[in-house]
Amino acid sequence: MKKEQSKAIGPIIGISLAILGFLIWLIYFKTPGETDAEWFAKLPAVNASLNALSACFLSFGLLAIKRGLKKAHIAMMVSATLSSSLFLICYIIYHNYQGDTRFLAEGFIRPIYFFILITHILLSMVVVPLVLLTLWLAISKQFTSHKKIAHWTFPIWLYVSVTGILVYLILHNFNAA
User: For the residues of 66-131, what is the DSSP string, one character each?
Assistant: HTT-HHHHHHHHHHHHHHHHHHHHHHHHHHHHH-PPP----STHHHHHHHHHHHHHHHHHHHHHHH
pTM listed for this prediction: 0.86
Report the alpha-carbon distance of residue 110 to residue 118 in Å, rounded.
12
Query: Is 22 a member of any domain?
Result: no
Model confidence pLDDT, tens digit, residues 60-112:
999 999 999 999 999 999 999 999 999 999 988 888 887 778 898 899 999 99
Query: Is 14 a member of any domain?
Result: no
Range of the domain at 143: 41-174
Query: Is 30 a member of any domain?
Result: no
- Statement: residue 166 has pLDDT above 90: yes
Count up the domains in the chain and report the number: 1
Report the alpha-carbon distance of residue 87 to residue 16 in Å, rounded.
16
C-alpha distance from residue 1 to each of 5, 79, 89, 137, 145 (Å): 6, 28, 32, 12, 9
Report the alpha-carbon distance of residue 88 to residue 83 in Å, rounded.
9
Q: What percent of the chain has pLDDT over 90?
A: 65
Query: Is 9 a member of any domain?
Result: no
Query: Is 131 a member of any domain?
Result: yes
For residue 40, what pLDDT band results from cuts at 50, 70 and 90? confident
Query: Is 36 a member of any domain?
Result: no
Report the alpha-carbon distance of residue 91 to residue 95 in Å, rounded.
6
Model confidence pLDDT, tens digit, residues 11-22:
888 888 888 888
The DSSP letter of residue 41 is G
Query: Is 91 a member of any domain?
Result: yes
Per-residue pLDDT, 96: 82
